[in-house]
Chain A
């Protein structure tokens, strides 16, 4: 069974903290993505990576950075968390041939 695993289902952090969201896939996919999901706004792409150490900005990269040191792991970093970053974060992976994407269960982050 293919798997995309996000390290936490729920996370509560304080304003100003540095936050790491981790995502691991076991399918040897080249492409990995981070989205945030907010009511009425759908899934918005934050960053994506097409290879180890390679990344591109998505549609809403401000306030976020990413790291991909190994093919199977893609991390989303909030350098200084703010309350407007309270959201559901979803990680996905997809192979180079570009058919379906596989999603993790999501991390609901609350910044207080």
Chain B
């Protein structure tokens, strides 16, 4: 049921790039990305609403391939502040409401 994220964990040096993937067995109509820093609540990064759409937030951008039911988050020239756990989320229409489910998470650590 949950979207699956890969990799599960990644360690980067400051300035390196990373890609986090999110794939779903169900059709995706929108994809959300959130970041959770250690001991804090998850915080919204961006939402992608159309197939093939790309959005950006600082040096973080994302793509959404509706046909492949996949989204990817791109972190460019990573900074120490990017460390945390990243979650993709999908909104599924149940007929009466919009159910928001999240993926398995990717733990990102940026080091000096």
Contacts and interface: CB of A to CB of B under 8 A. Distances in A.
Interface of A: 4, 31, 33, 35, 40-45, 48, 50, 54, 56, 58-59, 90, 92, 94, 98-106
Contacts of B32: 100-101
Closest 6 pairs (CB-CB, A-B): A50-B97, A100-B44, A43-B102, A103-B41, A42-B104, A42-B105
B100 A45 contact: yes
A56 B47 contact: no
Contacts of A104: 41
B2 interface: yes
Interface of B: 1-2, 5, 8, 30, 32, 34, 40-44, 47, 87, 89, 91, 94, 96-105
Contacts, number: 71
Given A98-B91, A100-B32, A101-B32, A31 B97 contact: yes
- Secondary structure type dominating chain A contacts: strand
Given A43-B42, A43-B103, A43-B105, 10 more contacts: A40-B104, A45-B101, A48-B97, A56-B96, A56-B97, A56-B99, A58-B101, A59-B1, A101-B34, A105-B40
A104 B34 CA distance: 14
A15 B5 CA distance: 33
Contacts of B99: 45, 48, 56, 58
A56 B95 CA distance: 11
Contacts of B94: 56
A43 B101 CA distance: 8
A45 B102 contact: yes
A105 B2 CA distance: 22
Contacts of B43: 103
